A and B are shown apart, each in its own frame.
Chain A
């Protein structure tokens, strides 16, 4: 069983969890108007300019460390112990370093998510490579689910999960070009809602095995479930039937009578809130109060899943159901129970729901339980007893393709090789041409792999080292010149690395869990982490997993495995090492 040891929320509203809870309770927000170089106005909750300067550490790294320091101090753990692992949830990390005005001070690789994460974990003296979870807007829940499974399976005793996002012209202009931003304060679920506000924050939750707290009778927070499901519908638009979110809620097996509220995503865009109302209604939860915290914080992206979980815990502990700042009159098609003003509750369970680009959705459930309550839930294990045979492997580099270790003859190299493979092996999926090079690489690898693997609904868990670097650079070029400022919406969508998992899910109609993690370099040590995380997913079902990196259109590297349900970490790691290392 996994419990919470401690937490912290570090936002423009306050630097401790309690200060943030009190700010929400008093209805405060730090949403203010700002303007982009193209004259577009937007509303966001940002830290003051004097706090935002980069120094030896970037502002992003300082925020992560400030939040984690407080949470770690409150937990009483030794963060330098090998029994502790770090998970960082973020979509874009230090992406502002791509802007030439910001980049001089640091090494070129500092913009990479894993580099920033390593700065943070090294600060605490932790010996393991940190795992960055970059799964669009659901990252904060995906990271907690990965942490929960790691603790349950004994991969670690304690998991420090940090969620953090800071904003620059990069993210703001991307959302603006998607016409997703509101120039007024957002109004989740309201009939007059007209888009989202962005927000900055860091938040940290420390999760551990309940063995650490046995013998105490104090109430504690228990993670009672975590599920991810893809819509398999569209890379940027939510499912019109709320399919993925509905499936997540169904799979959680929620006790309505014991549930105080569902803390929803509630971004205040027309489509998101409508989709969530459908999913909640379909799941039979229309009577359960729901609220969104976006009216207080804006959308804090990679931080949101962690921040909103922690504040929901505070609400339950204080017997409160938060009101939804900005909401006045229901503007969705299903009659869901949106909490307009703060009310009271004596219930001790809640659900956190999120959805994101790439078609991903996640839901987690939490319960505030007596310390001496008998254990009702069995912890998981890595399933070492039932090792499954029958893995399949594809590796793909600019000049070599192999399927199950047999080379596939081909003519082209680099970019041309991908086109050749598409034409010879598929040729019936025009969406391929719309994909960026990262998605094309992963897509081709998955197509080759699925031809030789047993038919099944695979979970998808992919890793790489440079996230969506090639698209990040291409998108940055569209906003570098302030006189010629035309951010590209199509490029911006692909600046999320998990879009490749969405493309594979859509192609194959996999309404399964999809996730994307960023590690340092794909060396043996990272293969261990990949094997561990893939095995945790394989406990739930068969998995497509592996490494998909892309530096530019002619430089890519994919190793993808089809892993049967129940395969153990050591077997997956061995196969990854066999395929990855010869190519370095």
Chain B
């Protein structure tokens, strides 16, 4: 779990083109959307693809993402419980 958090930070910066942000800038308990990292609806869809491609987790309803992408920590916990690859 503690290994997954820094890995996720690095991957999210890469996948979402957050070029001006470093892993250290991301607080694993801060909100990814709105006031936190300021991600938007297209980023949420990109994270859904990321979850399926890397961990075999299929989210058919984008609204499920709202809970799962609350913070890096919540996301890491969800991946650990639900990953199929």
* Contact status of A486 and B53, CB under 8 A, knowing A433-B18, A433-B19, A433-B20: yes
Nearest Cβ in chain B — how far from A274, in angstroms? 15
- Asked if residues A487 and B49 are in contact (CB atoms below 8 Å), the reply is yes
Inter-chain contacts of B62 with A (CB < 8 A): 179
Stretch from B39-47, B66-74, B75-83 forming part of the interface with A: B39-47
Verify if A493 is at the interface (C-beta below 8 Å from B).
yes
Q: Compute how far the CA of A434 lies from the CA of B20 in the bound complex, rounded to whole angstroms.
A: 10
Verify if B17 is at the interface (C-beta below 8 Å from A).
yes
* Contact status of A486 and B20, CB under 8 A, knowing A179-B45, A179-B62, A430-B38: no
Inter-chain contacts of A178 with B (CB < 8 A): 45
- Asked if residues B45 and A177 are in contact (CB atoms below 8 Å), the reply is yes
- Asked if residues A486 and B45 are in contact (CB atoms below 8 Å), the reply is no
- Asked if residues A236 and B20 are in contact (CB atoms below 8 Å), the reply is no
Q: Compute how far the CA of A179 lies from the CA of B17 in the bound complex, rounded to whole angstroms.
A: 21
Q: Which of A484-541 contact B (CB under 8 A)?
A: 484, 486-490, 493
Inter-chain contacts of A487 with B (CB < 8 A): 49
Verify if B27 is at the interface (C-beta below 8 Å from A).
no
Q: Number of B residues contacting the other chain (C-beta, 8 Å)? A: 16
Nearest Cβ in chain B — how far from A386, in angstroms? 43
Nearest Cβ in chain B — how far from A426, in angstroms? 12
* Contact status of A490 and B42, CB under 8 A, knowing A430-B20, A434-B17: yes
- Asked if residues A489 and B46 are in contact (CB atoms below 8 Å), the reply is yes
Question: Which A residue's beta carbon lies closest to that of B53?
Answer: A486
Provide the A466-491 mask, 1 if CB < 8 A to any CB of B, else 0.
00000000000000000010111110
Nearest Cβ in chain B — how far from A429, in angstroms? 10
Verify if B52 is at the interface (C-beta below 8 Å from A).
yes
- Asked if residues A490 and B20 are in contact (CB atoms below 8 Å), the reply is no
- Asked if residues A433 and B46 are in contact (CB atoms below 8 Å), the reply is no
Q: Compute how far the CA of A177 lies from the CA of B52 in the bound complex, rounded to whole angstroms.
A: 12
- Asked if residues B43 and A490 are in contact (CB atoms below 8 Å), the reply is yes
Nearest Cβ in chain B — how far from A190, in angstroms? 19
- Asked if residues B17 and A177 are in contact (CB atoms below 8 Å), the reply is no
Q: Which of A177, A486, A489 has the most CB of B within 10 A?
A: A489
- Asked if residues A433 and B41 are in contact (CB atoms below 8 Å), the reply is no
Q: Which of A179, A236, A430, A486 has the most CB of B within 10 A?
A: A179
Inter-chain contacts of A33 with B (CB < 8 A): none
Nearest Cβ in chain B — how far from A136, in angstroms? 15
Inter-chain contacts of B20 with A (CB < 8 A): 430, 433
Partner of A490, one of B46, B52, B53: B46
Inter-chain contacts of A14 with B (CB < 8 A): none
Nearest Cβ in chain B — how far from A506, in angstroms? 12
Verify if A379 is at the interface (C-beta below 8 Å from B).
no
- Asked if residues B41 and A488 are in contact (CB atoms below 8 Å), the reply is no
Question: Which A residue's beta carbon lies closest to that of B46?
Answer: A490
Verify if A237 is at the interface (C-beta below 8 Å from B).
yes
Provide the A425-436 mask, 1 if CB < 8 A to any CB of B, else 0.
000001001100
Q: Compute how far the CA of A237 lies from the CA of B62 in the bound complex, rounded to whole angstroms.
A: 15
- Asked if residues B38 and A489 are in contact (CB atoms below 8 Å), the reply is no
Partner of B17, one of A237, A433, A489, A493: A433
Q: Compute how far the CA of A484 lies from the CA of B52 in the bound complex, rounded to whole angstroms.
A: 11
Q: Compute how far the CA of A493 lies from the CA of B41 in the bound complex, rounded to whole angstroms.
A: 12
Q: Which 3 A-B pairs have the closest CB atoms?
A: A489-B45, A433-B19, A486-B53
Given A490-B46, A493-B42, output 12 extra A-B contacts at Cβ < 8 Å.
Answer: A177-B45, A177-B49, A179-B45, A179-B62, A234-B41, A237-B41, A433-B17, A433-B19, A486-B53, A488-B49, A489-B49, A490-B42
Residues of B within 8 A of A (CB): 16-20, 38, 40-43, 45-46, 49, 52-53, 62
Cβ contacts A to B, 30 pairs, < 8 Å: A177-B45, A177-B49, A178-B45, A179-B45, A179-B62, A234-B40, A234-B41, A235-B42, A236-B42, A430-B38, A433-B17, A433-B19, A434-B17, A484-B53, A486-B49, A486-B52, A486-B53, A487-B49, A488-B46, A488-B49, A489-B45, A489-B46, A489-B49, A490-B16, A490-B17, A490-B42, A490-B43, A490-B45, A490-B46, A493-B42
